[in-house]
Amino acid sequence: MCDDLPRARAVSERSLTGAAHAKLARSVPSPPRDSRMAFSPLKLLSSMATRELLNELVAQYERSTGQSVISEAAGGVDVAKRVRAGEAVDVVVLSSTAIDSLIAAGSLLPESRTDLVRSGVSIAVPAGAARPDVRSAEAVRRAVLAARTLSYSTGPSGVYLEKLFERWGILEQIRSRIVVPPPGVPVGSLIANGTVELGFQQLSELMTLPGIEVVGPLPPDIQTITVFSGGISSGCARPEPARALLSYFASPSVTQIKSRFGMEAA
């Protein structure tokens, strides 16, 4: 990003114990302090699935290094379109397939892909509603057929679910009941406000929302795992600090934080 961007904080400060702060400081690469641009903000653009996790990681990284990061999250499809259109950004975090596509298009630097987390799909219903059995593929199929309305994201997990429902031979039967969430709107919010009875999305996007109950993950035989990765924009003026940020996001020292947000280290 340019020198004249205003310094900004992506998230509010959270306290660290002295020991945790010291451990974090040892694990985070130090930005170059001899450069006039060393602490001008980096801009991070991500999909909604990793928003809460990245907010936490950014806050800790800023405290430890003094490097400011301007963080924004939006729907994954929208983020990819913005990056392809040349929006000024330094680091992008999306599904690995989207990152690979942006690298192939020349929008991200070759070989900058850094795998960060793995995330599976979970199922949720409105708080207080009857919890369907989702312990087997057949049980999930019955729950989908019984739901008067259902929703899933427009990202990789949604593409997978449509193919699954088509394979089961029920897609056309339920199509009129499927509510497509607007870009950037979590499926969980449609569940919470009563728009849909049954929702499918990454656990990280469901677990922190009020007004819903997570019934459980998709059973192992029909589960789909999305790898979320980071990449560096081809227009990034400061690739080394951007690489340092991605290295921190991928470091073993933050594995427990990823678990707390419903994700596994990639």
Which tens digits make up the pLDDT trace of 53-112?
999 999 999 999 999 999 999 988 899 999 999 999 999 999 999 999 999 999 999 999
pLDDT less than 70: residues of the chain:
1-39
Q: Give yes or no: residues 125 and 205 share one domain.
A: yes
Q: Give yes or no: residues 98 and 124 share one domain.
A: no
Q: Give yes or no: residues 241 and 218 share one domain.
A: no
CATH number of residue 145's parent domain: 3.40.190.10
Total of domains in the chain: 2
Domain that holds residue 82: 18-118+228-265
Q: Give yes or no: residues 187 and 255 share one domain.
A: no
Q: Give yes or no: residues 113 and 238 share one domain.
A: yes
Question: In this structure, what DSSP letter does residue 177 have?
Answer: G
Q: Is residue 240 part of a domain?
A: yes
Q: Give yes or no: residues 87 and 114 share one domain.
A: yes
- CB-facing half-sphere around the CA of 225: CA atoms within 13 A: 12
Q: Is residue 7 part of a domain?
A: no
Q: Is residue 182 part of a domain?
A: yes
Neighbours of 230 (CB within 10 A): 28
Q: Are 251 and 168 a contacting pair, CB within 8 Å?
A: no
3-state secondary structure of 155: coil
Q: Give yes or no: residues 139 and 203 share one domain.
A: yes
Q: At what angle do helices 239-249 and 51-65 cross, to 10 degrees?
A: 120
Neighbours of 175 (CB within 10 A): 10
pLDDT at 47: 92
What token pair was written down for 11? Answer: 């998230």
Q: Is residue 12 part of a domain?
A: no
d(CA 98, CA 21) in angstroms, rounded, equals 34
- Using CA atoms, how far residue 109 sits from 16, 114, 127, in Å, is 34, 11, 44
Neighbours of 128 (CB within 10 A): 9
Q: Is residue 126 part of a domain?
A: yes
Q: Is residue 2 part of a domain?
A: no
Q: Give yes or no: residues 245 and 190 share one domain.
A: no
Q: How far is CA 124 from the centre of its chain?
A: 18
